Structure 1
Amino acid sequence: MGEFLDRARQHELLLQLRDEYPHWKVFDLKGDEEGRRETVNLHYLLEHRLIDGQPRFSSMGDKSVLWKVRITHDGLDFLAADGGLGAILGVVTVKLHDDTVRDLLIARVEEDGTKDNATKVKLKETIRGLPAEMLSTLVKKAMETGLGHVGDIGAWIHHVIG
């Protein structure tokens, strides 16, 4: 049945259902090859949660299938050029508390073998006194510098996350 998967037809189905949204659309499919092809594509969209609904056998004699389906919010977002609300709501925000950034910076100062103790003490005092805005600027600059030293970003990410 995998040979019945048809990206163009799936797209057409989603567009039809988008035009009916939020209402349900009924497909009465026969048991022939065309009906099986349509059923395979509807099942595929259903499994990916782009549509909601389920098939019901309307008559066992000719194996026709009655589908009552509608597009989901994921289906609408899939069709949207900008990814829809899912793209906006799916943004991941990483928050580092000021104390965490300070602790990371202080740990790096302590690990630095090129600085003498008096310099390290002075740097640590400076770090402890930095306002949140300055810590934010330092984190951004550290990210830019760190990423600037990564040759192949894809290989580096793969290496880090395993």
Structure 2
Amino acid sequence: MGTRKELQIAVLARLEDEGRKMYSRELADIGDESSVAREVVYLKSSGLVDAAVREFDGVPHFAWASITAKGSDYINTEGTIGSELNVLTVRLHEDTVRQLLVARVRESDADESVKEKLVDQLKALPAQGIAKVAEHALDQALRNLPNAVQWLQTLL
């Protein structure tokens, strides 16, 4: 077997295909016993498999392993219930967005007459208009954010 990742995927795929608890001897054709055992221990610690593991003289062994729902979600590329359950929806009320935009205008260095005109226009916009302005504002903010990629990398 190739890389550790390939071995992990092979173990998960076999457990998923069989859909049952499998004994270590049944996974022997995937790779050498110690490598498979090491990956089963790792997959168990990640919550992707359930397994009966033991260590003898510093060498990991396992009696059996089975895939968990989390492991099944990980191995399946089509949409799964787990992936649907893990969706996060962020909703910003139009008034919140409107208040943020008005505050930004008021904090700007623009002329007072320009600021008041913009504030009045923002206050008069319907919800759909605020949504469109917010979408464009986010797009512009990301386009003009210095080092956007580096910022995202540190944030994520």
- Normalised to the residue count of structure 1, the TM-score between the two structures is 0.72
Q: In the alignment, which residue of structure 1 is the partner of 2:110?
A: 114
Amino acid of the structure 2 residue aligned with 1:78? Y
Structure 1 window deviating more from structure 2 (123-132 vs 147-156): it is: 147-156
Q: In the alignment, which residue of structure 1 is the partner of 2:23?
A: 26
Candidates 72, 86, 92, aligned match of 2:68: 72
The answer to whether the 8 Å contact 1:28/1:64 transfers is: no
Uncovered stretches (5+) of structure 1, i.e. residues with no partner: none
Shift of 1:64: 10
**Computing the radius of gyration over CA atoms, which structure comes out larger, 1 or 2?**
1
- Relative to structure 1, the CA distance from residue 20 to residue 71 in structure 2 (aligned partners, 3 Å threshold; closer, same or farther) is same
Shift of 1:107: 0.8
CA–CA separation in structure 2 for the residues paired with 1:157 and 1:65:
40
- Relative to structure 1, the CA distance from residue 156 to residue 65 in structure 2 (aligned partners, 3 Å threshold; closer, same or farther) is closer
Matches of residues 24-63 of structure 1 in structure 2 within 5 Å? 24-28=21-25, 34-55=32-53
Is 2:126 aligned against 1:127? no
CA–CA separation in structure 1 for the residues paired with 2:153 and 2:24:
45
CA–CA separation in structure 2 for the residues paired with 1:82 and 1:147:
30
CA–CA separation in structure 2 for the residues paired with 1:121 and 1:51:
60
* Secondary structure of residue in 1 paired with 2:24: strand
* Secondary structure of residue in 2 paired with 1:96: coil
Uncovered stretches (5+) of structure 2, i.e. residues with no partner: 27-31
Shift of 1:135: 0.8
* Secondary structure of residue in 2 paired with 1:139: helix
Listed one character per residue, the Cα deviations across residues 16-46 of structure 1 (whole Å, up to 9, x for unaligned) are 101122x2222259xxxx4333321210111
Listed one character per residue, the Cα deviations across residues 88-127 of structure 1 (whole Å, up to 9, x for unaligned) are 43333222111211111111121122222x4433332322
- Normalised to the residue count of structure 2, the TM-score between the two structures is 0.75
Identity, % of aligned pairs? 28
Total equivalences in the alignment: 147
Shift of 1:13: 1.3
Q: In the alignment, which residue of structure 1 is the partner of 2:29?
A: none
Is 2:154 aligned against 1:153? no
Shift of 1:65: 5.3
Q: In the alignment, which residue of structure 1 is the partner of 2:14?
A: 16
Amino acid of the structure 1 residue aligned with 2:63? W
Is 2:137 aligned against 1:138? no
Shift of 1:66: 5.3
CA–CA separation in structure 2 for the residues paired with 1:66 and 1:123:
67
